[in-house]
Amino acid sequence: MRLSRYFLPILKETPKEAEIVSHRLMLRAGMIRQQSAGIYAWLPLGHRVLNKIQRIVEEEQNRSGAVQLLMPTIQPADLWRESGRYDAYGKEMLRIEDRHEREMLFGPTNEEMITDIFRSYVRSYKDLPLNLYHIQWKFRDEVRPRFGVMRGREFLMKDAYSFDLDKERSTEAYRRMFVAYLRTFARMGLTAIPMKADTGPIGGDLSHEFIVLASTGESEVFLDKDILDLPIPGEDTDFDGDLSGIIEQWTTPYAATDEMHDEAAFGAVAEDKKVSARGIEVGHIFHFGTKYSEPMGAKVMTAEGKEVPVQMGSYGIGVSRLLGAIIEACHDDDGIIWPKEVAPFHVGLINMKAGSECDEVCESVYAELEKAGVEVLYDDRKTSAGQKFASMDLIGLPYQLVVGPRGLKTGEVEVKDRATGDREMLTPEAAVNKLISALKG
């Protein structure tokens, strides 16, 4: 993408309203714009990252056997009366009346609707297990939205819902999601730690939060640092097999948010392994059994011909919130440092003197990189080199490729690694090869 044809409105000033670094950087890097309190437009750069995060979530959900569908944003109030949550939800629910004065709402979550879909089609144990997920915009009318996309009102969430015949199989479904989550966050370059959690308004008896460590995190967390070194389950994980070993491995070292913190248990952790830190919740999984299937009449026939309410769980990932969490975990004083897998582009190509002999070299490396599937943002504008460097550092693409008149005198261009700051002078050909092998190898 040529920057001269893109829409990347970088802000020079630090916006006053931004209290945390991810919010500040997303505004400055032209990724988002607030349209109302807690409601954001995703400008092109932000939208690209949102899409990449969504793709990773989808790939890992699909790998674990979940099936994607898409439920609407607007729901009828009556469904929520069936579960008893319509009144319970309070003012966070955005309630709407349509032109025929029917009571509707902008869905904050979808337990009721998916249970409704399930009960209208599924009758037999033969159709189980089933795990249905979607990625859709939700709305929660927070009394005081803040921290940018970390606590917005309109937000993108992945929510999956499992349906099983009995508690044991439902626990297996829970384990599949647990493992899928470990893979999902790791692929985004994050260390996300599962912690036993309170079930809150969703209900149920088994629940974990996935927490990313960041000094600006909303909650205090306590953990045994052994958990930081555990291996992430591989691509070849057999999701039809027994996953209990992985779960045990990940739930044995102490890890808890302040809500669930147990001083005595934490006391038993070796002194040099105790970590207390701050964290950001990026996922939350629940097993809640028949909490919704019972009142809503979602039943299946067992092999013995008996009707039983289906066992359910739900599994959320804060897709839009993840952008904020990743930036909180990956930035420096100059700006964002995107992990490769979620970077909006892989390489920022800087033409230090547009309109000079630099153009030809830039065009050639641009074409070669794009041909190899490397996503390049080419700064071909006639602005100062200093401004170009600052913008590229701010938006945080993994590599910068700098083409300037001085380097070209000896036939060289510069490759800069945004994360380490390492710079190297190479021929254009060697630079292209280096970037292709680093990014596509």
Q: Select 41 or 265, whichever has its Cβ closest to a copy of itself.
A: 41
69 counts as binding a copy of itself under rule CB under 8 A:
yes
Assigned token pair, 188 = 């985004």
> Nearest approach, Cβ of 311 to a copy of itself (angstroms)?
17
Angstrom CA distances, 68 to 107, 236, 268, 389, stand at: 18, 21, 43, 41
301 counts as binding a copy of itself under rule CB under 8 A:
no
> Nearest approach, Cβ of 287 to a copy of itself (angstroms)?
20
Asked whether the beta carbons of 28 and 14 are under 8 A apart, the reply is yes
Q: Select 117 or 232, whichever has its Cβ closest to a copy of itself.
A: 117
99 counts as binding a copy of itself under rule CB under 8 A:
yes
| Member of 42, 125, 286, 345 binding a copy of itself (CB under 8 A) | 42
* Phi, psi of 31, deg, nearest 5: -95, -35
| Member of 121, 168, 238, 272 binding a copy of itself (CB under 8 A) | 121
| Member of 139, 181, 315, 378 binding a copy of itself (CB under 8 A) | 139
143 counts as binding a copy of itself under rule CB under 8 A:
yes
23 counts as binding a copy of itself under rule CB under 8 A:
no
| Member of 16, 70, 305, 409 binding a copy of itself (CB under 8 A) | 70
From the list 148, 211, 192, the residue with the least C-alpha distance to 20 is 148
Secondary structure string (H, E, C) spanning 257-322: EHHHCCHHHHHCCCHHHEEEEEEEEEEEEEEEECCCHHHHCCEEECCCCCEEECEEEEEEEEHHHH
Q: Select 49 or 285, whichever has its Cβ closest to a copy of itself.
A: 49
124 counts as binding a copy of itself under rule CB under 8 A:
no
From the list 418, 423, 416, 431, the residue with the least C-alpha distance to 369 is 431
398: helix, strand or coil: coil
| Member of 17, 19, 74, 242 binding a copy of itself (CB under 8 A) | 74
| Member of 12, 13, 36, 271 binding a copy of itself (CB under 8 A) | 36
Distance CA 181, CA 194 (A): 9
The label of the residue with tokens 């400055």 reads: 28
Q: Which stretch binds a copy of itself (CB under 8 A): 18-26, 98-106, 176-184, 285-293?
A: 98-106
From the list 338, 354, 306, 348, the residue with the least C-alpha distance to 123 is 306
Distance CA 254, CA 262 (A): 9
> Nearest approach, Cβ of 202 to a copy of itself (angstroms)?
20
Distance CA 367, CA 428 (A): 12
| Member of 154, 164, 368, 414 binding a copy of itself (CB under 8 A) | 154
113 counts as binding a copy of itself under rule CB under 8 A:
yes
Q: Select 65 or 339, whichever has its Cβ closest to a copy of itself.
A: 65
> Nearest approach, Cβ of 432 to a copy of itself (angstroms)?
23
Say which amino acid occupies 319. Answer: V
Q: Which stretch binds a copy of itself (CB under 8 A): 100-108, 198-206, 301-309, 341-349?
A: 100-108
382: helix, strand or coil: coil
153 counts as binding a copy of itself under rule CB under 8 A:
yes
169 counts as binding a copy of itself under rule CB under 8 A:
no
7 counts as binding a copy of itself under rule CB under 8 A:
yes
First to last CA, the chain: 22
240: helix, strand or coil: coil
The neighbouring-strand residues paired with 219 are 279
**Residues at the site binding a copy of itself, with contacts judged by CB under 8 A:** 5-7, 9, 30, 33, 35-36, 39-44, 46-47, 50, 65, 67-76, 91-92, 94, 96, 98-99, 102, 104, 106, 113, 116-117, 120-122, 130, 132, 134, 137, 139, 141, 143, 153-154
